[in-house]
Amino acid sequence: MPSTRTEAIPVNDGEMGAHLAVPDAGTGPGVLLLQEIGGVNGYIRDVAERLADLGYVTLAPDVFWRVQPGFAVERFTEETMGQAAAIVGQFDGEAGLADLGQALEHLRELPEVVGGVGVVGFCFGGTYTFLMAAEYEPDVAVAYYGSGIAGAIDRASDVECPLLVHFGGNDPFLPAADIEAITAATTSMSNIEILVQPDAGHAFDNHASEMFHDPAAAATAWTRTVAFLSMHLPNA
């Protein structure tokens, strides 16, 4: 079972906490895991363990530390979605992206990290995975249902690493027209792959939230994610 600890990441004007999961081998390539709007909750820690089980040293930063350090909701309901949305409304995107750039560098410098580093993110973190791929040159990136990607699609030409983007075909937060626009903008880019689960909605990987979880779509997408990471961020 992976070992875990809390990391303190120095950033421009403070310190950001993070959950770290280290594989049984003790070393491996690094993955920066970017949370949904629910924070670094049990679900995100479970994903960190999944990635550590694959051999990746996984760091999940507390992205909302400037607004409410340690904010987390364990299960999405209408009420907790509202709570999370209120936190997101106070989030400084420019400062937050800079924080994540420093978190990626912190990950690279951890003694357990051997080899390259990638970024994997879900929902809110899916959008920021795309932005990280455009801004900070990770070795690989996997973004799940980032509803803000369409609004930042002009950055696609800045993405040089292999990037896998997962969407649900019935996502109420991501219109089909947005998925079509993203696909059209990246179709000529051999480093970017778009994979749509036709019948899935938003946050289909989140097994902690019944209102979103789609086990079949989650399994299909995760199988492709594992293969993509294995190809572009292999364990030595």
Catalytic position from the list 62, 99, 123, 205: 123
Q: Spell 60-69 as b/e; 16+ CB within 10 A means b.
A: bbbbbbbeee
Q: Which two tokens stand for residue 113?
A: 């990290």
| Residue 199 is a catalytic residue | no
| Residue 202 is a catalytic residue | yes
Catalytic position from the list 62, 99, 161, 171: 171
Catalytic position from the list 19, 106, 166, 202: 202
| Residue 161 is a catalytic residue | no
Residues carrying an active site annotation: 123, 171, 202
